[in-house]
Structure 1
């Protein structure tokens, strides 16, 4: 909303400026925990190079600063803390009297110019001729002189007896089954002519059904799977069986059927 009072200029008020921050620490004190000024001759803010080096040198150790600083040339060398093993022989070697000779030192010189007049070829031949042959420590078992040599083991006789008894039991069981079958003679009855004609017609109907399925694959020469081959062979076998049954029922004469069926 506009107003005429907005045209009147407002008096300028200077913003409040806080006083400059002054640290309570000395700005000229040497820097702590800093590595500036340790190398070279350039000085850093807060103190001279000598003051910085002196400050860092005194506080660069883990121990108290009152101790003297170790010289750079006096560093820990390899093997200075290790203890040398005693060169004396062990207690076991001293007790048994079997001690190995010491290793020759670096300044020891080997004996030179020693030669032997021994003929090793002749010496070895003489030693081999005069040596006594060593006999075997353990003698082998003489199986020929054993008590049971050439005799049949007892366990084989037991096995043969068990096999004989099992065969007798099987023969006895088969004999009883055959005698029961012979005692009960099988009876046959003549099939009625009308039943034979009906059975032949049903077989022919089934043959037509199987032949219809067979005709769909009989012309194929390349089969994609073994299932198709088995299907074709199965239909051929089924047709052959139906044809044999039809020919048997159409023969002249009566057809005899067992009563058990």
Structure 2
């Protein structure tokens, strides 16, 4: 037989264990309990068959006769209209009554025109719809204002033209006063070439930077080069976009 191994002796095994008392919640009691009990008793009273019957018993003279329990049809009510006879059918020799008008005059009705089939279209998936709602019919060509310039575009062009005229008048006044002068084309081209050369130098230096910016100095130098290149790009776009450039005359 195998020996039974008990746990080793310990001070914690000798401590008394505190019994934990669990208190159950109160049992659920429905508020309709008393009503259900009364209804159940009342229903049981009606199903009892022992004892004397509570309904009145027929006397011996009123015994069940033949065909007494068969269903009877309701009695036909007397209809006064059934007794009135309809006028006789007119003979072939009688003349038809003239001058009688009904709600619908069949003499004035015209022949109905057969309905024309509506043009429809069916797509590749089998969906069927009216042709005018499919977008294949150029119905916008029949509009009254088709091909005309909208009013908001006319107003926008007028405002743009007015602003251009105001700017030209301002430049004309400044030239008359001698406050501005026109930059020559050769000077503009030389400045544009110098800006592009400076951008190429900065771009060459930017391409030689280290891929890893692990120090603050490297990060600051990279941001400085990017800002300078962005400023040069804006200046180059300005000189290429505007052929006429005015300079203040100091």
Flag whether TM exceeds 0.5 (same fold).
no
CA radius of gyration, larger in: 1
TM-score by length of 1: 0.27
TM-score with structure 2 setting the length: 0.28
